Amino acid sequence: MKKIEKQSTLKRILAIRGMGQVITVAFGLVILCIIFGILNPTFFSGRNIGNLLRQIAPILLIGIGQSYVLITGNIDLSIGSVVGMSCMISATLMTKGVNPWVAVLITLICCIAVGIMNGELVAYCKLPPFIATLGTMTVARGIAQIVNNNYNTDSIGAGAKGFRDFFYYGRTFGIYNTIWITIILWLIFNFILSKTRTGRHIYAIGSNLEASRLSGVNIVSTTIKAYIVSTFCSCVVGLIICATSGMGTMDAGNVYEMYAVAASVIGGVSTLGGQGILLGTVIGASIWGVLQNGLQFAGAPVAIRNIVIGIIVVISVLLDIIVRTGGKPRKKKEAVVSENGVKA
């Protein structure tokens, strides 16, 4: 009897969206840590683990945003440019004498505006998400370049000490604030995605857009919310980079959209929409961090690290498509008929 109850419990856990793949990927993460620990015992040192967590934090943040968008069945290619825009706008305002927290607020408004624009272009204007966010990616990078006349900023100065402590140097209970910020945001966005009506709508439109529309889901509003989460997380990462370097750099966030996709897809978020959980994104971002850190210890150059991660992303996407489609070419989602006979 107890055996049957245990089997039922296991089935319920695996029935959670993407949980089976998350468990598999988590097992792979453990194997990677063991291998790198054997190759170099300092991999498990307290100092390296602390550095590893600080490396993972920004990747997890942008991964959360990309996961929201991917689950709706779309993609956000503007993430890296929004990171750069956030870094440059906040730093430029601070070097002009604006209060750091006012600068943060203005930066946040600008980044959220990009998210709203992405959502409107994709859901209201019905542009392909690849094209829409490719355009806003270029716009955001252009803003990052023009905001300080095509120059990186000077140091944001001693007046921004509180800002730098909050977003990078400061610690609470012995743990860097960067890590706390990431944990708190993950808890909030995980709750929204898994426990609220907005979260259910995000999964619904990623699973079947037309059925969701006929069921009364506001497609435009839900899509905009997903893109706002993405640009909000990117904005926070830009602020962290600004606090870390103490200045604004125009190329901040380059190729971060690729890292965001890597964290999401490796963690089991489907590129076809409707499937994935943020716990998987944590595992995906951790694998990215462990690979970067472990290969660095092994003396692998940056190019090799990027190649390895790129290959893993391609394999993850390929496996996802094979599993979801049974290896057959992807077809348009079939219409369903509701009880009143309306085709969805």
Encode pLDDT of 66-124 as tens digits.
Answer: 999 999 999 999 999 999 999 999 999 999 999 999 999 999 999 999 999 999 999 99
pLDDT higher at 244 or 9: 244
Q: What is the pTM of this model?
A: 0.86
pLDDT at 337 over 50: no
pLDDT band of residue 342 (cuts 50, 70, 90) is very low
pLDDT band of residue 10 (cuts 50, 70, 90) is very low
Residue 343 confidence (pLDDT): 42
CA within 13 Å, CB half, 182: 27
Scanning 16-78, the segments in alpha helix (DSSP H) are 19-39, 46-71
Phi and psi angles of residue 172, each rounded to the nearest 5 degrees, phi first? -130, 125
Q: Taking the CB of residue 324, how many other CB atoms lie within 10 A of it? A: 15
Residue 3 confidence (pLDDT): 53
Instruction: For residue 75, give the nearest of 264, 280, 334 by alpha carbon.
Output: 264
Encode pLDDT of 198-216 as tens digits.
Answer: 999 999 999 888 888 888 8
